[in-house]
Amino acid sequence: MKIYNVVREANGNFGRNITFNRKLKETEKKDYTKTITDTMDYLGIVNRALIIHGSSFPADKERDVDQRIGSPYNADAFLEFAKLHGFNGIQLGPNGKLNKGDTSPYSSSIFAKNPLFIDFSQLATPKFASILSEDELYGETYEVESNGKNYDVSDYKEAQVVTDRLMDKAYANFKEKLAQKDAKAQKLNKEFRAFQDENSYWLEYYSVLDVISNKYGTDYYPHWSKEDAQLIQGVKQAQQPAIARYNQIRKDNADYIEKYKFTQFVVDKQAKEDTKKRGDFVYIGDLLVGASSFDEMIFADVFKPGYKIGAKNGGVFDSPQLWNVPLVDPDKLFKPNGELAEGGEFLRLKVKKALQDAKNIRIDHAMGLVDPFIYKPETVVYGTKMDNGKEVSYPLREKLQAGFLSQMGIDRKQNYQRVIPEIILPVLKEAKIDPKSAVWEDLGYDETGVFNRIFRKQEGLPGMNVLLWDRGETSKPENWAFVTCHDNPPTAKVIESNDKNPNAWNLDYLAGYLNPNSRKPYQRSSFRDKIARNPHELLKAKYAELMRSTKNIQISFMDFFGINKQYNTPGTTGPQNWTLRLNSDYEDTYYKSLANNENAMNMPEILSIALQAKADMDVAQGLKTQAQSDREIAPMMKKLGEYSSILKEKE
C-alpha cells in the first residue's frame, strides 16, 4: 500500500504526492518516534536498550574517518538513529584497555580505558589545542568505505597501528606547543596534571607495566619472568631491589610513560565530555567479573592464591568453563569492625569505575559476587573427543578440584554473602541508581541455595529472561528480557537452524500468548498457521513476545539490523570473536532489509502485534470491554500500520 499526503504545490493547487519511500524523511521522523514511544509506554516498556559494544559502533560517514574499529564516543548520528526507533539506552560492553593480543572486552582493564576508542578528529580542534593537524589526521586514518553488506568487521591490529601513530604525533605536538607556551596547550596540560593526580593509584603502575610488556609482546604475566611479574608487588612491599629497578625503568622510559598517561587522559576526557552531552540517553556500563593481567599484578595482594573463578557447566561437551578469573580473597573483603578491607575497597573501586561514564550498569555473572564456582588451576587436565570429525579438547571434570565457594571451606566467615548488600548496592545508591533497575546477569546452570537466598530472597533483585530459551509468560515485570545478546547467535541464524529450544519457540504457545482472547479462536489459529509457514513471521512473533514480557528490554544490534553473523561464541577464542561491527551504511542497509522483507526489525509491525495482544489480554481478563479496548488502541494501531507499510516501501 502506498501512503499519500495532500500537499500544496508551487502553483497553489493541491495534489497527491508520494510522501514516503522506505526511508523516513526528516519531516516524518518526529511523529514516527512518538508513535513508537507512545506504544511502548502503553505496553509498559520503560527501559529500551540496544546491545552494542563500543568496538561495534559504525564509522562516521560525515567526518569520513574510519579508525578500523568502532567507538561509543562522539557517535551522535548513530545515537539519533537509535532514538528514532524508540531506544532510550545502549548496553555497552566493558570499555577497558585490552590485553595485548586479546580482543575480548571481558578480560580488559578495570581502570585503564580503551585508547582504540579515541576520536582523533577531536584532537585537531581547539578543545585539544589542535595537537593534530588535518593532514596528520587524514594521513593516518582510512576513508569510510561501503561494503554492500549489513555488517562490517573491526581490525584490531590496524586500529592499534593507527592509534599508536596518531598518539605519537599528537603527544609530540603537545610537548612542542607547551615549549612554545601555547595558551590552549597550557590549559590542556593543567587538565592532564589533574587527571594524573586523581588516578595516581593505578596510572603510574600501568604505564611501567606497559613498558615491560613491550619486551615480551604480551600483557599475560605468566609468560614473563618472575622478577617482572612481581615487580609492582615488590615496590608496594617496599623491597629495595624492586624499587631501584622500578625507578630505573621510569627514568629510562620517561617519555614513553608520559605518553601512556597522556593517552589515558585523552580517552578519559573524551568519555567524560561525551557523557555530559548525551542528556537523558542512558549508557549502561558493564561490570566485568574478571580483571586484566595488569590488574592482577597491581592488586595481587587482594586475590586468593591458587584459585580461579569459572562456571560449573556450559563449556565444550558441557564441561566446566575455566575463565582464569582471579578470586578476591574472602578474608580481605572486610575488617573486623565491618569496614572495607583491601579486597572490599578493590571491588568498590571496580564498580565505581564501571559507572564512571554510564547512568546504569550491567553486573556480569552476579553469582561471582555471591557464591562463585572456583577451581584450582594446577588440577586442570584436558581430555579429547571427536566432534563432527574434529578432535576437541575439554577439561576433565573428574580430575578438577572445584566447587562453589560455599562448599570449598575457604570463606568460613561467609564474607562473600555480604558483597552485594554491603559493597555493590551502596555504590549504586551513591550513583542514584535503583538496584532493581540495574541489569543483573543471573544466567547459567550454577545457581546455588546460597545465591538464591542472598540475591533473590534477601535483596529481591531482578534477573534476566532470555527468550531464546525462556517464555515471555514466565518473565517477572522487573526483569530485563532479551531474545539474544552478545553471547548468542543472532535470531536470523537461529531461525534457520533446527536447534531452537522447543519450549521457547513452541508455535501453540506463541500463538496463544500473542492472541490470548479465547473468544477469537480463528485469530489464534490463523496466526499459528502464519508463523508455522514463514520463518520471518515466526521471528516477528518472537520479537512481539519480547515487547509483551517485561518493562525492561534489550535488543542486540545483530537482531535489530538483521545480521546473520555471530559476534561472540562463548567458550571459544580466536579472530572470529568480538570483531562484528555495523557498517557505515547501517541506516541504508536497515531500510533496505525492511523493504526486501529480510530479518531487520520493523518496529511498528512488531509493536502492533504486541499492542493487539495486550488489548486482547485486557479483554480476556475482564479489565476492559472489547469496545473500550478497540477504541483505546485504534489511533496507535492506525499509525503503526501506516509506518509499518512505509518501512516496507521500495525506493
Q: Cα(207)–Cα(37) distance, rounded to whole angstroms?
A: 46
Q: What digits encode the pLDDT tens for the residues 294-312?
A: 999 999 999 999 999 999 9
The pLDDT value given to residue 238: 97
Q: What is the DSSP string of 318-339?
A: GPPEEEEEEEEPGGGSB-TTSS
Q: Are 248 and 375 in a shared domain?
A: no
d(CA 203, CA 280): 31
DSSP, res 253: T
In this structure, what C-alpha cell is assigned to residue 54?
563500543
In a domain, 10, yes or no: no
Percentage of residues in the chain with pLDDT exceeding 70? Answer: 96
Residues 118 and 257 in one domain: yes
Write out pLDDT tens, residues 448-482.
999 999 999 999 999 999 999 999 999 999 999 99
Q: Give the model's pLDDT for residue 22.
A: 62
- Examine the pLDDT at 199 and tell me if it is beyond 80: yes
CA atoms of 238 and 235, how far apart (whole Å): 5
Distance CA 562, CA 594 (A): 9
- Of the three residues 461, 483, 504, the one that is the final residue of a domain is 461
Nearest C-alpha neighbor of 307 from the set 325, 321, 332: 325
583 located within any domain = no
How many independent structural domains does the chain possess?
2
**Cell 612491599 appears where?**
237
Cell of 466: 532470555
Residues composing the chain = 651
Query: Residue 260: what pLDDT?
Result: 98
Which residues are 382's β-sheet partners?
395
Looking at the structure, do residues 317 and 437 belong to the same domain, yes or no?
yes
Contacts of 178 by beta carbon, 8 Å cutoff, 6+ apart: 185, 186, 189
Cα(642)–Cα(636) distance, rounded to whole angstroms? 10
CA separation (Å) from 26 to 29, 272, 545? Answer: 5, 30, 30
Q: Are 468 and 566 in contact (CB under 8 A)?
A: no
Task: Give the global pTM.
Answer: 0.94
Structural domain range at position 69:
57-287
The arithmetic mean of pLDDT across residues 32-48, rounded, is 98
**If you compute the radius of gyration of the chain from its CA atoms, what whole number of angstroms results?**
27
Residues 194 and 334 in one domain: no
Check whether residue 182 and residue 228 sit in a common domain. Answer: yes
Q: How far is CA 431 from CA 110, 188, 353, 354, 369, in A?
A: 18, 28, 11, 11, 19
Residue 519's pLDDT is 80
CA–CA separation, 651 and 642 (whole Å): 16
In a domain, 483, yes or no: no
Residue-wise pLDDT tens digits, 371-427: 999 999 999 999 999 988 889 899 999 999 999 999 999 999 999 999 999 999 999
* Domain assignment present for 574: no
Question: For 316-331, what is the mean pLDDT?
Answer: 94
Cα 409 to Cα 651: distance, rounded to the nearest angstrom? 67
The grid coordinates listed for 180 are 612554545
Domain-located, residue 400: yes
**pLDDT for position 564:** 93
Q: Are residues 341 and 453 in the same domain?
A: yes
Q: Which three cell numbers stand for residue 405?
A: 565457594
| Helices and strands of the chain, counted as H and E runs | 24, 18
Last-in-domain residue among 287, 315, 339: 287
- How far is 274 from 157, CA to CA, in rounded Å? 26
pLDDT 10s digits, 2-24: 222 323 233 333 333 333 346 89
414 shares its domain with 266: no
Residues 313, 247 share a domain: no
The predicted-structure confidence for 588-627, as pLDDT tens digits, reads as follows: 999 999 998 889 999 999 999 999 999 999 999 999 999 9
Q: Are residues 129 and 218 in the same domain?
A: yes
Q: Tell whether the model's pLDDT for residue 214 goes beyond 70.
A: yes
Q: Is 601 among the domain residues? A: no
Q: Does 166 lie in the same domain as 227? A: yes
Going by their DSSP bridges, the two strands 382-387 and 390-395 should be labelled as: antiparallel
Please give the mean pLDDT across all residues of the chain: 93
What backbone torsions phi and psi does residue 509 show, to the nearest 5 degrees?
A: -65, -50
Which pLDDT belongs to residue 447?
79
158 in the same domain as 106? yes
Instruction: Check whether residue 304 and residue 271 sit in a common domain.
Output: no
Which segment of 6-20, 159-173, 198-212, 409-423 scores lowest on mean pLDDT? 6-20
In a domain, 145, yes or no: yes
Least confident of 19-33, 103-117, 431-445, 589-603: 19-33
Question: E strands within 318-462?
Answer: 321-328, 360-363, 373-375, 382-387, 390-395, 402-404, 439-440
Residue 536 falls inside a structural domain: no
Which of 410, 443, 461 is at the close of a domain?
461
Q: Are 50 and 91 in contact (CB under 8 A)?
A: yes
Cα–Cα distance between 163 and 93 in angstroms, integer?
Answer: 20
pLDDT of residue 517: 87
- Mean pLDDT value of segment 575-596: 93
pLDDT value of residue 521: 83
**Band of pLDDT at residue 518, cut at 50, 70 and 90:** confident
What is the structure's pLDDT at 388? 83
Structure confidence at residue 186 (pLDDT): 98
Q: Over 111-167, what HEC string results?
A: CCECHHHCCHHHHHCHHHCCCCCHHHHHHHCECCCCCCCCCEECCHHHHHHHHHHHH
CATH number of 182's domain: 3.20.20.80
Of 126-135, 264-273, 571-580, which range is least confident? 571-580
Summarize the confidence of residues 509-532 as an average pLDDT.
93
Confidence at residue 574, expressed as pLDDT on a 0 to 100 scale: 77
Cell numbers that stand for 360 in this block: 546504569
Confidence of residue 445 (pLDDT cuts 50, 70, 90): low
Choose the weakest-confidence range: 4-18, 61-75, 84-98, 343-357.
4-18
pLDDT at 512 exceeding the cut of 80:
yes
